[in-house]
């Protein structure tokens, strides 16, 4: 489902919490998961300790395919942090194919000479993972090749 993309930038690394450790553990294995309430079975997006629907503190994780579609995007041309110097960088809001209620935010890899002009709403995407530190991988997305 995924491939390793390495980065030379020394970017800030996420610090997992008790309620999102499962997400980061899966990402380290290049798997995309979403948090699910163990009581009411509704997806919790973003991961959190207490279910916003039934207030249960119990949760589990559901495997996602990693497929999605462009919901929206923005391209940054100016860096506001010294670790982000490879510009421009496009950030997308991605609607997951198998969990359309989940919208993830991530870097959109512009491959094969793509530019922002090649993007469109609903463009099919797939997840890729950027191994940024030992045990920490960041989900990113790229257009699905025809």
Interaction site with Zn ion (CB under 5 A): 37, 39-40, 51, 53-54, 56
- Pair type for strands 4-5 and 59-64: unpaired
DSSP tag of 26:
H
In the complex, the smallest distance separating the C-beta of residue 31 from Zn ion, rounded to whole angstroms, is: 23
Are the CB atoms for 25 and 139 separated by under 8 Å?
no
Q: Nearer to Zn ion by C-beta: 10 or 53?
A: 53
Bridge partners, residue 67, by sequence: 126
Q: How far is the CB of 48 from Zn ion (least distance, A)?
A: 11
In the complex, least distance from residue 38 CB atom to Zn ion, rounded to whole angstroms: 8
Q: Which is nearer to Zn ion, 60 or 88 (CB)?
A: 60
CA 126 to chain centre: 10
The smaller minimum CB distance to Zn ion, of residues 11 and 48, is found at 48
Shortest Å, Cβ 99 to Zn ion: 15
Q: DSSP letter for 17, please.
A: -
Nearer Cβ to Zn ion, position 45 or 56? 56
**What is the phi/psi pair of residue 106, to 5°?**
-165, 165
């Amino acid at each position: 489902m995924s491939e390793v993309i390495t980065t030379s930038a020394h970017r800030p690394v996420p610090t997992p919490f008790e309620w999102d450790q499962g997400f980061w553990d899966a990402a380290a294995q290049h798997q995309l998961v979403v948090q699910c309430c163990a009581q009411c079975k509704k997806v919790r997006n973003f991961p959190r300790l207490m279910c916003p629907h039934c207030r249960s503190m119990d949760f589990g994780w559901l495997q996602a395919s990693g497929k999605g579609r462009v919901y929206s995007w923005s391209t940054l041309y100016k860096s506001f942090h010294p670790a982000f110097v490879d510009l421009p960088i496009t950030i997308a809001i991605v609607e997951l194919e198998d969990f359309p209620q989940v919208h993830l935010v991530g870097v959109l890899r512009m491959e094969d000479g793509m530019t922002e002009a090649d993007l469109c709403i609903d463009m099919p995407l797939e997840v890729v993972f950027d191994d940024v530190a030992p045990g920490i991988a960041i989900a990113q997305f790229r257009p699905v090749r025809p």
